[in-house]
Amino acid sequence: MGTVKAICISDRRGIQKKPVAQAQLIQDYGIEADAHAGKWHRQVSLLSNQRIEEFRSRGARVEYGAFGENLVVDGIDFRSLPVGTVLRVGGAVLQMTQIGKECHQHCAIYQQVGDCIMPREGVFACVVKGGVIRVGDEMHVG
C-alpha cells in the first residue's frame, strides 16, 4: 500500500506540472485537464516519492511535478512492479503499461542538475476505471 503525496497536471506538454489537491481520472483517457491525457498507453505517469527524495538528497531542489509526473506515491516502488500491474486509488483503477521512457531531449531538470529520474524511474498507466482521486488517498497494488 502507498499514499498519494501529490497529483500534478499541466495544460501543455514539455513543461513542469503543477500540484492540485484532487483530480478526475477518466476511463480510457487519463487525468481531466492534463496535456498527456488521451487515447494512448501513457495516460498517467507515476513516480515513487522515495526516488524523488533520493534525488533531492543529492542536492537537487525539485518540487512535485518537476519531472512531468502526474502522481507521486509514497510507499510503492513502481520500478519493481511488472507491466500489467493493477493499481487502485480513490475508486479509480489504473493498469501499468510501461516502465521508463526514452528521453529525446533533456528536460529543464536535466539542464539544471545534469540528471533526470523520470526516464529510469517513472512508470506509465492507462485508466481502466475512472474516479476522483485526492492527495492523501491510499493506493493499493492488485
Q: What is the mean pLDDT of residues 66-75?
A: 93
Give the C-alpha separation, 85 to 50, whole Å. 19
Q: Are 8 and 19 in contact (CB under 8 A)?
A: yes
pLDDT of res. 119: 62
Which tens digits make up the pLDDT trace of 82-138?
999 999 999 999 999 998 866 656 565 555 556 666 667 789 999 999 999 999 999
* pLDDT, position 56: 83
pLDDT tens column, 15-43: 789 999 999 999 999 999 999 999 999 99
Please tell me the total number of residues recorded for the chain in this structure. 142
For the chain, domains (ranges, CATH) are 2-141 (2.40.33.20)
Position 73 scores a pLDDT of 98
Query: Quick one: pLDDT band at residue 139, thresholds 50, 70, 90?
Result: very high
Instruction: Quote the cell numbers at residue 140.
Output: 493499493
Other C-beta atoms lying within 10 Å of the C-beta of residue 32: 13
